[in-house]
Amino acid sequence: MAKLSKDWLFEDHIDLEYKSYVLLAYLQDVCNAFEVNTLYPHLADLVEHYNALINIRKEHERLESQFPKELKSIRPNFQLEYEKMGMPETLEEIIEIIDYAIPLMEKRLNEGKKIYEDIERSIHISSVGLLPLQTDEGYLLVMNGNEPETQVYNFNITLFQDSRGKYRAIHTSFLADYKRTLSNTPEQIKLELLRLNRKLPNPATLAVESEMKLPFHETLFPIAKRAVVKYLAHSA
């Protein structure tokens, strides 16, 4: 993955033409990843860069309204006309780069979100057996398209809070692969897990199945984990 430094806007030459080459190379790498349904870390990285530019632009607009002004003319009825004093040349160049970069990043970001949404719709989640009242811990049985294995993970969900509100976070740990056979059904795998771990007598066990084979760690699993959190929240 071609990395774009967090300080790319201010590093090396602050020049629109130079920065456009840097940005376009990065966005082409993101595009190549999206074309093969590889979303992470590219999508999260792109969101971070895009939000940083938006925040800088908003802060600049706020400060611009406070720039000193000088008297330009006096109109009839003693109406005073002012004009803003010019910005430093380097700052003007940075704003030009930001205005150039935002729509390009936004285009790629929308493409990534569309792929995310399409993949999310192709992932099906179901409870293996009855869903218990306590669903903050259990197992995920993940089936990736026509892959011959079911990947089994332990999961637990915790609550955390920040300035924006309360959120649920899912934590996972890999347990084992099971061959997908007529005898290794999700129900049989659950029985085996119950036998191996009697500390979880009634765990929430979810079958997570993707219609198509996807890059597992880069796409399927991150989206699946978020989908599981939504599923359990709606099932509560």
- Given a cut of 80, whether residue 2 has pLDDT beyond it is no
- Residue 160, pLDDT score: 79
Output the average pLDDT for the chain. Answer: 88
Q: In which band, very low, low, confident or very high, does the pLDDT at 1 lie, cut at 50, 70 and 90?
A: low
- Given a cut of 60, whether residue 78 has pLDDT beyond it is no
Q: What is the mean pLDDT of residues 199-209?
A: 93
Integer angstrom CA distances of residue 188 from 169, 202, 206, 223, 233: 28, 15, 13, 26, 26
- Residue 80, pLDDT score: 44
Return d(Cα 173, Cα 225) in angstroms, integer.
12
- Given a cut of 80, whether residue 162 has pLDDT beyond it is no
Return d(Cα 150, Cα 187) in angstroms, integer.
12
> What is the residue extent of each domain of the chain?
16-121, 128-235
Burial of 19 (0-12, 13-18, 19+ CB in 10 A): buried
Closest to 37 (Cα-Cα) out of 101, 109, 116, 142: 116
pLDDT tens string 96-142: 999 999 999 999 999 999 999 999 999 999 999 999 999 999 999 99
Q: What is the mean pLDDT of residues 212-230?
A: 96
pTM of the model: 0.84
For residues 167 and 161, the answer to whether their CB atoms sit within 8 Å is yes
- Given a cut of 60, whether residue 9 has pLDDT beyond it is yes
Q: Cα(first)–Cα(last) distance of the chain, in Å? A: 39
Q: What is the mean pLDDT of residues 18-31?
A: 95
3-state secondary structure of 125: strand
| 3-state secondary structure string across 158-199 | EEEEECCEEEEEEEEEEEEEEECCCCCCHHHHHHHHHHHCCC
Q: What is the mean pLDDT of residues 170-188?
A: 94
- Given a cut of 50, whether residue 83 has pLDDT beyond it is yes
Higher pLDDT, 76 or 154: 154
Closest to 218 (Cα-Cα) out of 40, 47, 44, 54: 40
Spell out the residues 6+ positions from residue 178 whose beta carbon is closer than 8 angstroms to its own: 149, 150, 152, 184, 189, 192
For residues 119 and 36, the answer to whether their CB atoms sit within 8 Å is no
Integer angstrom CA distances of residue 15 from 35, 81, 99, 220, 233: 30, 33, 13, 39, 48
Cis, bond preceding 41 (omega within 30 deg of 0): yes
- Residue 201, pLDDT score: 87
- Given a cut of 90, whether residue 151 has pLDDT beyond it is yes
- Could you tell me the two tokens for 78? 């003693």
Q: In which band, very low, low, confident or very high, does the pLDDT at 71 lie, cut at 50, 70 and 90?
A: very low
Give me the amino acid identity at 1.
Answer: M
